[in-house]
Structure 1
Amino acid sequence: MFELLDSINTPIRLRTLHHAALAPLADELRSFILHSVGATGGHLSANLGTVELTIALHYVFQTPDDRIVWDVGHQAYAHKILTGRRDDMPGIRQFGGISGFPRRCESVYDCFGTAHSSTSISAALGMAIAARNTGESHHCIAVIGDGALSGGMAFEALNNAALYPDLQFLVIVNDNDMSISPSVGMLREHLGALIANRHGNPEANLFNAMGLPYTGPIDGHDLPELLRALRTLKTCRGPQLLHVVTEKGHGYSPAAADPVLYHGPGKFNPAEGIRKSPSASLTYTQVFSQWLVDAAERDSRVIAITPAMREGSGLVEFERRFPERYFDVGIAEQHALTFAAGLAADGMRPVVAIYSTFLQRGYDQLIHDIALQGLPVVFAIDRAGFVGADGATHMGQFDMAYLRCIPGLTLMAPADEQECRQMLQTALQQEGPCAVRYPRGTGSGIAPGSELTTLPLGKGVVSRRSTQPRGQRIAILAFGSMVSVALQTAALIDATVANMRFIKPLDTQLLQALAREHDWLVTLEEGCVMGGAGSACLEFLSSQGACLPTLQLGMPDQFIEHGATETLLNQYGLDAEGTELAIRRYAQALGLGCPAAPSVFHQASA
């Protein structure tokens, strides 16, 4: 079925092909990607759009000596396949399998690990400087999409690159008029004008003005044109920029027609396309989406902001209902936060919808521009905790640790969908910065109501009481998504469960009472143990002289690899069985009281 593709294990073999064989190879490669992603799930439309570009780059340049940095990297499946990982594609993004993004530890052809946007130009520039300083002659190429080019870091690198006229450095702008959603901003308009004027005079453009000689725009699906341009630019000295126009989803009409739907699909049959099926339970993202619309109907000050994640963060309906209060600022998290600060400073109530892993990119703005001024900005933090197939770059494991240390910031974690709605409304009512962190996917199935009610600030609740006598009385202090796990575990060992609700401010009265009434404690969180919610509990208890044995359970001091969320919870002992086993081992090691009757799981594990 794949006569040409089956013969290629490395780009060295690719470069032995006659150029006339490259177009048939592109057809085979595109078909392989389509059926591979259909079988496993993964990133599709971006990968279908870069097949010819990938072939041309590896054909013209001497990889891996020449470096290619793929910005974000969700368009690098063709690169993985051509660099010896075709047989690994059935396990992509699955536990123990290869990553969906480039990784240095995976292949010598992955010269730089990516997954967050707008980093490629900086990284490739650093490599070009290193090559110059060590007397090496290899080329360094950054492949960046027009969506990723909206990130400020990309412009910082472009501003710096033209200072070094002696580098073998090439920036390729892969322009498909999309990030995940359609691209936004004046840069999009500028690139569009260059495309419209491709047969006219392209000299008056941003890139030439910044000192990077501009070539293009050229058709990114025309292999002869790509090869000619790349061969010419390979001989040029100094930083260069090539503008390539591609189509997301190219070659598969359903993906080309709806590249957003086919950006990161689950498993599907390519012959049938994606079939949407309604879910019985709401996801936390949908809970947020419904709350935001309801809140905006009641309060005209409510503004929604997203850094290029309209669909992922659940803002499609809000944009439809309140277009004048919806702002997609592009892949620019720093700008998103300070923009929100400006809105809040003049009386608006901005809500920043953002993934946990992406909020990291605006941390200084959060501290300096929002928290220091006590501005009422709400952060709806999606994908907090395990996120599954996207892996270490996208895990929401650090937000509790990096947020709870910020003075004046309120941080909440809901145990279910109804609490999520209530916490979001609670956050909206505060006069300072507030964050609500919630996980990917569905919760426990508790449907939220339609009312806009709030929760008492800084107050948790006891969800279950232990019936054990003193000496064997354990309290599990659970945060957010771990409350359901704590309740399952508590049923096995007859423990008390506290739904703490607030990471900051902690419910110190509840914490003191639990410490008085129990012999030892367990903290349970879907975030990093170091500096997280459990650490906050220990810090307070220590300050009160209430030092009792406490087992902290959460994500370990390591980057978490990709895999299904259920698999990862099991792998790191954060499902009910793993939590029970950790509690029993801790009790045995320290000689603490713990109910002796083994659970069904404990019997099976013995």
Structure 2
Amino acid sequence: MTSEPTKTTLLSQIRKPADVKELSPEQLKTLAGELRETIIGQVAEHGGHLAPSLGVVELTLALFKVFDLESDKLVWDVGHQAYAHKLLTGRADKFHTLRQKDGLSGFPRLSESEYDHFGVGHSSTSISAALGMAMARDLKGEDHEVIAVIGDGSLTAGLAFEGLNQAGDLGRRMVVVLNDNEMSISRNVGALSQFLSRKMTTPFLQRLKSDVEGLLGTIPRIGDDLAGYAKRYGDSVKSFFTPGILFEAFHFTYVGPIDGHNTAQMVKVFEEIKKLDKPALVHVLTKKGKGYAPAESDPTFFHGVGEFVPETGLARKFSGPGLPSYTSIFGSTLCKLAKRDEKVVAITAAMPEGTGTECFRKNYPERFVDVGICEQHAVTFAAGLAVQGYKPAVAIYSTFLQRAYDQVVHDVCLQNLNVNFFLDRGGLVGEDGATHHGVFDLSYLRHIPNMVVMAPKDEAELARMMATAFEHEGPCAVRYPRGTGVGAKVGRNPRALPVGKGEKVHEGEDAVIITLGSRVYPAIEAAMELEKEGLSVAVFNTRFVKPLPRKQLLALVRKFDRILLVEENALAGGFCSAVLGVFNESGLLDGKRVHSLGIPDAFVEHGTQKELRAMLGIDKNGIKRNVRKLCK
């Protein structure tokens, strides 16, 4: 199995979307197999979003067969499922670089291809973007189709319904394809998911129709007329029994549910849909991980997976238990804290496995809530719990909390409520790239009144910061990185830290490195290696971004003339900016040399965490380099 198509394959002959239009039904079936083989081979070698892309292979082919991507606009929601799209739009020969530094992005992006009509990476944006494109088309007097493909998990977010509502009101011609596999990353939750899952099969509908017509036909004198009436309104009966009634309320023409792995059927439906002059929604049923047995049986694991053996589906680099991840430490510590405090409640937004809250759900199901892809609701829901005396733990990826900024400000911090945010994937996340790096949280949280912001240097400090958050009266945020820790032992009964107090973790006289979180240990390693070069460098871990340990920082600026500030966050408004503010206010900077390292004013592309940290100079070697410059 290989990730690069050979010259004898159908895929190697596809250079642009229009090439798909020329294929016969049998060729489309062959091409579907080649797409799956290529996707599986690539993801097995380098990791990626496997199950979502496998589930939409036939859907992608049907869209390419019917629509003209030279003029028609196609928007994929989130983009987890767009690997087949990339392979069919002139990128097959580069597909082996997927999600690698300087290679193809794991998501559609405007700068990568003329056939990526909208850049995505976060959920539920497709309908709004497509509606904007449809209105722009009409204003310019153009005549092309606009298609949004959205999953049923993404449809749970408020943004998707805002888009549906406006699209129905404007009535502009556009197509929404609902890719319904009953999953986002984890199994979908909520009333909408239950409603969409009322899938009435064609045999059921036919039996229902036959039974009703037969019953009515037995009524004397008027039976035949009633049966004819019922037959004429069969479509209305179908809409009543399927989710069509919901979308018809939004003024969409609803078609479905249809088999999302039957290319011929989808082609026929899309051809008919093109004749409409109003919004239409096509409800397509797919199986996540289709065509690869391990992914079909465990689509959550294979949603975003690391390297694995294609023949078995087993992880390729498994070499024993190793160090636990920060995510798992968070999950186990949360359970410990919940055991000693019955007011602790856990909330996640469609990611119990990804955020480490799955163990909490098993142990304390009555105190666990998965709200679905609804970050704004999650935050305000937590505020409602907090105002009644509970201590909600909102477990969420840093990049996704950005979606609920207004709720953090007005519903939590303004009321000074005891809501605790635990932000996984703080800092650079690696191969998912710019849309997923959590490099803005220190900046967008530290300026909000009443908020306490912490970042742990290791697993033990994470546990203590969690205890601190639950003991503190008011909102707290703890951000921690993706990946494993350093092996620090976590105590059975984590103790709270004194708020706003840091620690010196390495002694030195010539210069000081002031940092926190994931950059503490690289700073210590840099200082130890610099000692061999004759430089004595201290390292101070502030632990807190807000409140900063002001007295300790002022003592450091009085003692040291060479100061290096390091963070894994945007320099604009981040940790270094906060420390510099303290220094500037003190009036003690005359004659001092101070330099800041962090994320520059630019979006960071994809690559491994190690590669990106080295590129930005915030790894051990970058820290050493900058200390040397300061000490020249």
What TM-score results when the alignment is normalised by the length of structure 1? Answer: 0.94
Residue from 213, 216, 238 that aligns with 1:202: 238
Match of residue 499, structure 1, among 535, 541, 545: 541
Aligned to 1:156: 162
* TM-aligned CA deviation for residue 397 of structure 1: 0.6
Task: State the Cα distance separating 1:524 from its structure 2 match.
Answer: 0.7
- Matching residue's letter, 2:504: V
Change in 2 beyond 3 A, CA 1:582/1:282: same
1:212 is displaced (CA, Å) by 0.9
User: Does residue 478 in structure 1 map to residue 484 in structure 2?
Assistant: no
| Matching of residues 242-281 of structure 1 within 5 Å | 242-275=282-315, 278-281=320-323
Structure 2 residues without counterparts, runs of 5 or longer? 1-5, 209-236
Q: Does structure 2 retain, via aligned residues, the 8 Å contact 1:282–1:447?
A: no
Conservation of the 8 A alpha-carbon contact between 1:384 and 1:399 = yes
Contact 1:221/1:246, CA 8 A, preserved across alignment? yes
Cα offset for 1:35?
1.4
Residues 1:345 and 2:351 are matched in the alignment:
no
SS at the partner of 1:389?
coil
Alignment partner, residue 362 of structure 1: 404
Mapped contact 2:77–2:151 kept (Cα < 8 A): yes
CA positional deviation for 1:494: 1.9
The DSSP-based 3-state class of the residue aligned with 1:451 is: coil
Partner letter of residue 441 of structure 1?
Answer: G
Name the SS for the 2:91 alignment partner.
helix
Letter in 2 for 1:50: V
Counterparts of 1:202 and 1:334 in 2: how far apart (Å)? 34
Counterpart selection for 2:152 from 141, 146, 154: 146
Pairwise CA distance, 1:194: 4.0
Corresponding residue for residue 123 of structure 2: 117
1:187 aligns with 2:192: yes
Output the amino acid matched with 1:553.
L
Deviates more, 1:360-369 or 1:86-95: 86-95
Alpha-carbon distance between aligned partners in 2 of 1:447 and 1:263, rounded to the nearest angstrom = 31
1:83 alignment partner AA? T
| 1:163-312 equivalence runs, <5 A | 163-165=169-171, 167-195=172-200, 199=205, 201-204=237-240, 205-275=245-315, 278-312=320-354
Give how far 1:452 is off. 2.5
| Secondary structure of the corresponding residue to residue 339 of structure 2 | helix
Deviations 1:25-79 (CA, angstroms, capped at 9, x unpaired): 1122112211121122111000110000000101100003101100000100000
**Is 1:334 the counterpart of 2:381 in the alignment?**
no
Deviation at 1:195, TM superposition (A): 4.2
**Matched residues, number:** 582
CA distance in 1, matches of 2:96, 2:25: 29
Offset from partner CA, 1:376-409 (integer Å, 9 cap, x none): 0111100000100000000011000110000010
Partner of 2:219: none
Query: 2:593 aligns to what?
Result: 549
Contact 2:327–2:424 (8 Å) recurs in 1: yes
Counterpart residue identity of residue 89, structure 1: F
Query: Equivalent residue for 1:603?
Result: none
Q: Of the candidates 608, 619, 623, which is equivalent to residue 564 of structure 1?
A: 608
Moved more, 96-105 or 480-489: 480-489
Distance 1:195 1:116 in 2: 31
Deviations 1:217-274, CA, capped at 9 Å, x for gaps: 0000011111111100011111100000000011111110110111111111211212
Could you say if the C-alpha distance between residues 533 and 195 of structure 1 is closer, same or farther in structure 2, counting changes exceeding 3 Å?
A: farther
Task: State the distance in 1 between where 2:285 and 2:521 align.
Answer: 48
Equivalent position SS for 2:435:
coil
Give the conservation status (yes or no) of the 8 Å contact 1:164–1:238: no
Question: Is the CA contact 2:48–2:106 (under 8 Å) kept in the aligned structure 1?
Answer: yes
Matched, 1:397 2:402: no
Contact 2:294-2:312 within 8 A present in 1 as well = no
Matches of 1:154 and 1:362, distance apart in 2: 15
Q: Aligned-pair distance for 1:188?
A: 0.7
CA distance, structure 2, for counterparts of residue 545 and residue 4 of structure 1 = 70
Letter in 2 for 1:552: S
For residue 214 of structure 2, what is the aligned residue in structure 1?
none
Q: In percent, how many aligned pairs have the same letter?
A: 48
> In structure 1, what is the Cα distance between the partners aligned to 2:272 and 2:382?
45
Aligned-partner Cα distance in 2 for 1:461–1:393: 33
Give 1:584 shift: 2.6
1:604 maps to which residue?
Answer: none
Q: Which residue of 2 aligns with 1:599?
A: none
Paired with 1:109 and 1:415, the residues of 2 have a C-alpha distance of 43
Flag the structure with larger Rg.
Answer: 2
State the alpha-carbon separation in 2 of the partners of residues 40 and 234 from structure 1: 39
Residue 546 of structure 1 and its aligned partner are, at CA, apart by: 1.9
1:487, CA displacement in angstroms? 0.8
* Structure 1 residue corresponding to 2:31, chosen from 6, 25, 29: 25
Greater alpha carbon shift after TM alignment, 219-228 vs 188-197: 188-197
Q: Which residue of 1 aligns with 2:96?
A: 90
How far apart, in 2, do the equivalents of 1:279 and 1:406 lie? 40
**RMSD of Structure 2 on Structure 1 (CA):** 1.3
- 2:527 is aligned to 490
Q: Deviation at 1:443? A: 1.7
**Paired position in structure 1 for 2:622:** 578
* 1:131 aligns to 2:115 (yes or no): no
2:433 aligned counterpart, secondary structure: coil
Given the alignment of the two structures, is residue 374 of structure 1 paired with residue 416 of structure 2, yes or no?
yes
Q: Does 1:420 align with 2:462?
A: yes
**Contact 1:380/1:437 (<8 A) preserved:** yes
Aligned with 2:103: secondary structure?
coil
Amino acid at match of 1:362: A
SS of residue in 1 equivalent to 2:239: coil
Structure 1 residue runs of 5 or longer lacking an equivalent are: 588-592, 595-606
One-letter amino acid of the counterpart of residue 445, structure 1:
G
Query: Which residue does 1:602 correspond to in 2?
Result: none
Structure 1 residue 327: deviation in Å? 0.6
Q: Aligned partner of 1:244: which letter?
A: V
Aligned AA (1:577):
N
Separation of aligned partners in 1, 2:627 and 2:124: 43
The one-letter code of the counterpart of 1:193 is R
Partner Cα distance (2:320, 2:155) in 1: 35
Partner of 1:508: 550
CA deviation vs aligned residue, 1:479-506 (integer Å, no higher than 9, x gap): 1111011112222132111011000000
Deviates more, 1:442-451 or 1:525-534: 442-451
The normalised TM-score by structure 2 is 0.90
Instruction: Classify the secondary structure of the residue corresponding to 2:352.
Output: coil
Hey, what's the Cα distance between the residues in 1 that align with 2:327 and 2:456?
A: 13
Paired amino acid for 1:33: I
Q: CA deviation at 1:278?
A: 4.0
Worse-superposed segment, 554-563 or 6-15:
6-15
Paired residue secondary structure (2:521): helix
Judge conservation of contact 2:345–2:390 (CA < 8 Å) in 1: yes
Q: CA deviation at 1:196?
A: 5.5
Cα distance in 1 for residues equivalent to 2:319 and 2:182: 29
Deviation per CA, 1:322-376, whole angstroms, max 9, x where unpaired? 1111111010100000000000000111000011100100000000000000000
Secondary structure of the residue aligned to 1:84 is: coil
C-alpha separation in 2, matches of 1:274 and 1:222: 30
